[in-house]
Structure 1
């Protein structure tokens, strides 16, 4: 029997691989499909998972996310192993022993998710009734199985991988025997952490001393040498289906952003006129995108109407900026952990117009002073939020030439990246440029504002080609 690390066949055998998946699907019933959906919650979009009614639907989703491939079907072998479908492993040319040997290095399903699944399998009917009785006041009035119960507790943030107190208390009250599964998870997690540390120590001890010193000198700069520079998403809302006016000139901004970030090496995805539902689907897709693993950075731009701390979707729904940004924390998007995440928002943050005359700090409506912009970014490292204007004020956009902020941002990226300037220096130059601009009457001005939790300097590598735009 071939090793599980080997390819199932040549690239021309995709049809044969799909036949294998079809055969595996024929052995899986509704209960197994629910189990697979639960185990994949950290791997793909939850909204897309909810639409899956068969194992084939799940396989198609894993193929789309490139988690499952003909030459590397291990993620499916892992799922079959966890759900105890051991006989089906033979269709993927794996044995139970091979999966167990490869799991420590190739695991895709988080240990926490695996532990929750094992708990759900161990919760019998009487235990489930007891748990739902104790939690009745906080549970939805619908019939649910053990998987749904644990998913609900996770959604409410009562349980997560670093805080099991709520879950432990519940198990101790209802079924103390379940504690062995939780203890097993803790031990596995400790071993995983120790293994990582051991690998780090070995790497340092064997490294060349000169390269080590050089690395120390570069330690204050984010790494920019991975396989991909990263993804840049541009949400451009021009046409609104509600009372909000259309945003003429925004296409000029969107195209300029696209050209600049493509020049910087990003894979750019531009999308227009996103409703709230569209935006939520986009965020789910992006936070699970496989390219993040091999990328250096992530950029997310929103061009739309807004008020302080929130932006409008094309169907007129207010979406907090913090809600957008929170999809890309280390917990939600492990592929971006430790990497810089940049968010640029071209939207009003209020209705006030900044005067060209000197004003004092209390010029913002004193009866409604907005909270700190820092509240819009997570309390964790490696985030930058660039707003077109300070809280409480409008941002300005020319109906033909685009917005002051985005045009200045793109101009300064073009001019200063080749001079090895870091992103905060570039944004300082943007602030200076935009603050000096005024409308024809000289009465309207604007001052952008960044907030950040970056730990290092972010310096984009200089592109080999001169910008042709």
Structure 2
């Protein structure tokens, strides 16, 4: 079901007239077959369910081959989901501080994941996803001043020092599979 929804979204005619697109997925996740997977509502780990969606398929659906309407336009992927079953922190005793006829298969992507590979993603039972809350706050106050990579860095910096995350539950979002070749501003000049 997730695959169909993402594929259908990649085929929307509105992409021709847009300057960019955002794909936001919030669900449970885990590593399946050594790949990041988003779990569907019917997924059950003990019933050998196949209701999951591999994150890498987003890049296939929105690449220049399958979604030519978004060629040379930023495609921002935000994923709030676990990527494994491990804690995010560890104690370390010794730490040191263009041509018209050819386009890249995957270009102008930026993917911001809620956590590192193989690490739990946490959320507040009352307020939901920490990542999404920080994104809303940072983008709401700074999107008119900074490009998207700086906005993501700001979100990560704030999450790193958040006192709610103890050493045992330290979480840090990560930017992955980024192929943006220019700075991307959401609301320039405001």
C-alpha distance in 1 between matches for 2:92 and 2:131: 21
The reply on whether 1:342 has 2:76 as its aligned counterpart is yes
Listed as ranges, the matches of 1:307-456 within 5 Å are 307-308=30-31, 309-316=36-43, 317-355=51-89, 357-358=91-92, 380-418=106-144, 420-439=145-164, 443-451=168-176, 452-456=178-182
What is the TM-score of this pair, normalised by structure 2?
0.81
The reply on whether 1:285 has 2:8 as its aligned counterpart is yes
Alignment correspondent of 1:302: 25
Instruction: Give the superposition deviation at 1:381.
Output: 1.1
Listed as ranges, the matches of 1:72-151 within 5 Å are none
Contact 1:437 1:445 in 2 (8 A): no
| CA pair 359-282 structure 1, distance change in 2 beyond 3 A | farther
| CA pair 438-354 structure 1, distance change in 2 beyond 3 A | farther
C-alpha distance in 2 between matches for 1:346 and 1:410: 13
What is the TM-score of this pair, normalised by structure 1?
0.34
Instruction: Give the superposition deviation at 1:443.
Output: 3.0
Partner SS state of residue 410, structure 1: helix
Listed as ranges, the matches of 1:201-220 within 5 Å are none
Contact 1:437 1:446 in 2 (8 A): no
C-alpha distance in 2 between matches for 1:321 and 1:432: 24
Alignment correspondent of 1:24: none
Runs of 4+ more than 6 Å apart: none
C-alpha distance in 1 between matches for 2:165 and 2:157: 19
Answer 1 or 2: which has greater strand percent: 2
Deviations 1:300-348 (A, max 9, x none): 0010011141111111122110113311111101110110001100001
Alignment correspondent of 1:168: none
Higher RCO by CA contacts (8 Å cutoff, separation 6 or greater)? 2
Name the larger-Rg structure. Answer: 1
C-alpha distance in 2 between matches for 1:280 and 1:360: 44
- Structure 1, unpaired ranges of 5+: 1-276, 362-377, 465-469
Contact 1:436 1:445 in 2 (8 A): no
Contact 2:64 2:105 in 1 (8 A): no
Instruction: Give the superposition deviation at 1:379.
Output: 5.6
C-alpha distance in 2 between matches for 1:441 and 1:284: 39
Contact 1:438 1:445 in 2 (8 A): no
C-alpha distance in 2 between matches for 1:280 and 1:353: 28
C-alpha distance in 2 between matches for 1:435 and 1:295: 34
Partner SS state of residue 335, structure 1: helix
Answer 1 or 2: which has greater helix percent: 1
C-alpha distance in 2 between matches for 1:292 and 1:379: 17
State the Cα RMSD in Å: 2.3
Instruction: Give the superposition deviation at 1:282.
Output: 1.8
Contact 1:438 1:444 in 2 (8 A): no
Contact 1:301 1:345 in 2 (8 A): yes
Deviations 1:258-281 (A, max 9, x none): xxxxxxxxxxxxxxxxxxx3x233
